[in-house]
Structure 1
Amino acid sequence: MVKKFGEIYKLYREAKKITLRDIEHKGISRSQLSRFEKGETDLTTSKFLLALEQINVPIEEFMYAANDYKRDRFYQIVDEVKQCFLNRNVTRLHKLLIERIENSNSSTFSEMEIIFLKIKLQELSNKEYFNDTDIKKITDYLFSVDFWGMFEILLFGNIMYIFNHETFLLLSKEMLHRTEFYHDIPSYRRVIASMALNSFIICTERNHLVDAKYFEMQISHFNFDESEIYERLIFRYASSFYEFKKDYTKQSILKMRKVIGFMRAVECEKLAERYEEHLNNILE
């Protein structure tokens, strides 16, 4: 891995026409960088970050390149699960679970990934795969992490509906609190906003309208701009859903239909179908 990091760093540096001489007076010696690029030695974390700064490459971009331009493993698992749900492919999802079990190790992350796949497989197949012990393990893990990274955000965000309301509410609030430092990072901001929107909808579905109002207020602080059209649409739908649950007005139904109509207008058919199904379930 040291050799790979060094090789990638050299590729970036040379592509930007930056010489070792240009960097050495910034706190890292030319010989240190040369050995690092050849894979002969490593850099301390502080010097590595400094070296990246000198070639103007964000660490997220560098690590993406180091991972052969692929997202990390859990990102890939989540993406594959989404495809299984879109295509209603139970067989493929079951295969993913078996593969993950066969390649598991003793790490907590590996165990969390397996439980995650069990939960999603049960949701898609309507067959039992996880139990209360699995839920307790995930709950204990999430409460044990002081600052949530993308792993925890994606894990909770994709299974939040399985928790009883008290646990769900505590974890959702913890999610907002433990990720507040990431709101200015676009990739994190979008996932966190999506989780907050889902929390808003879940509270409304469960008729916990005071809790729903809390999430509505938290979401309003995101101040979605015009480039965040998806978030603005879902927020509009969720707010109209909340209005319907609170006042049962025809106007709120029309607002939800209008959002769905806009989704169809921009050819987001699967998204429109998902929310149309949600609306039909509300009105049954």
Structure 2
Amino acid sequence: MVYFKYGKAFHDLRIQHGFSLSAFEELGIAKSTLSNFENGKSMLSFDRLDFALQKMNVSPLDYSLMINNGEQDSYTSIFDEIEKAYYQRNIKQLQEIYQENSNGTKEQKLLAYSAKGLYQHLPADEIGEIEDYLKGIQFWGLFELSLLANIGDKLSDTQISYILDDLLFNKIYYENDLYYRVLIYRFLYKVILHYIDSGNQNKAKEVLDISQSYFMPGDVMSRVIINYAESFYIHFYIDEKKGKNQLLDTLRFLKKIGAEDFRKTLKMQYDKRIFRKNHFNK
């Protein structure tokens, strides 16, 4: 039953909040439809699920936690370790996280691949495991978005396109949560660079446009990374000098505000791409 964990989580929340099956009929959700969903026989459409969660005053984050049986906190802490190690260029720690989780549960293996993909290429079988898992996702929780934020650019273009379409179509359900937005920005940033690196200007521009639609007031650092990606786009496709100046301005800004680990990571990405472009142009 592919949908079982989604339905079970909803069932547990419904009972916890004291709602009957018939309480959702006013939303156009029949008792039989909801029963089938809770028993893993079918999936509710995203808009109906969101309306039902709103009726119970349950946030997408709370639902995400329930889906993962409360394990989200431990997974999130490991993802935080992965992010910190990546920005500090601590390859040894990323390797240790991979080794500690690579023989565990399905989720632990995905955590392991998330760490490994930040310091070396993932083999086809590991990418296949990630894609198989993501194909069954109906609700993008913190675990899934953290995967995308770290290694979403390693997926096939077909899978990336599907995820982008889904995130854009259901934007209203994610855009009001800062934690979700930050993870989505990180995914979009990597995908933009992926398309720039592969020479796909149209797709890079398309993802840039999607990223702009997610911005909310106060998303300072997220704007920084998307603007940085946009500067790469300008450098490679519109105005080389202007793009380079914008890239360097961003690096100077990060140094000024003391975001040194973050700056070093972006500087590394800058050096790699500028060197590669100069090398090919010789």
TM-score, normalising length: structure 1: 0.66
Deviation, structure 1 residue 261: 0.8
Following the alignment from structure 1 to structure 2, what is the Cα–Cα distance between the partners of residues 264 and 96? 29
Following the alignment from structure 2 to structure 1, what is the Cα–Cα distance between the partners of residues 269 and 154? 18
CA contact (8 A) 2:117 2:151 kept: no
Q: Which amino acid aligns with 2:129?
A: K
1:249 to 237, 240, 243: 240
1:142 to 123, 134, 137: 134
Equivalent residue, structure 1, for 2:207? 215
1:240 to 231, 234, 244: 231
Following the alignment from structure 2 to structure 1, what is the Cα–Cα distance between the partners of residues 93 and 244? 37
Following the alignment from structure 1 to structure 2, what is the Cα–Cα distance between the partners of residues 120 and 81? 6
Deviation, structure 1 residue 81: 1.9
Following the alignment from structure 1 to structure 2, what is the Cα–Cα distance between the partners of residues 249 and 98? 42
Deviation, structure 1 residue 256: 1.1
Following the alignment from structure 1 to structure 2, what is the Cα–Cα distance between the partners of residues 142 and 178? 16
Equivalent residue, structure 2, for 1:67? none
Following the alignment from structure 1 to structure 2, what is the Cα–Cα distance between the partners of residues 190 and 123? 18
Deviation, structure 1 residue 50: 6.8
CA contact (8 A) 1:81 1:120 kept: yes
More relative contact order, 1 or 2 (CA 8 Å, 6+ apart): 2
Deviation, structure 1 residue 279: 1.8
Equivalent residue, structure 2, for 1:182? 174
How many residues were matched structurally? 225
The DSSP-based 3-state class of the residue aligned with 2:180 is helix
CA contact (8 A) 1:148 1:178 kept: no
**Higher Rg:** 1
Given the alignment of the two structures, is residue 133 of structure 1 paired with residue 125 of structure 2, yes or no? yes
Q: Which 5+ residue runs of structure 2 have no aligned equivalent?
A: 1-10, 20-53, 66-70, 276-282
Equivalent residue, structure 2, for 1:281? 272
Structure 1 pair 259/187, CA: closer, same or farther in 2 (3 Å)? Answer: same
Equivalent residue, structure 1, for 2:50? none
Following the alignment from structure 1 to structure 2, what is the Cα–Cα distance between the partners of residues 122 and 199? 14
Q: Percent identity?
A: 18
Given the alignment of the two structures, is residue 74 of structure 1 paired with residue 42 of structure 2, yes or no? no
Aligned-residue RMSD, C-alpha: 3.4
Structure 1 pair 95/59, CA: closer, same or farther in 2 (3 Å)? Answer: same
TM-score, normalising length: structure 2: 0.66
Q: Which 5+ residue runs of structure 1 have no aligned equivalent?
A: 1-42, 65-69, 105-109
Structure 1 pair 98/272, CA: closer, same or farther in 2 (3 Å)? Answer: closer
CA contact (8 A) 2:193 2:204 kept: yes
CA contact (8 A) 1:143 1:171 kept: no
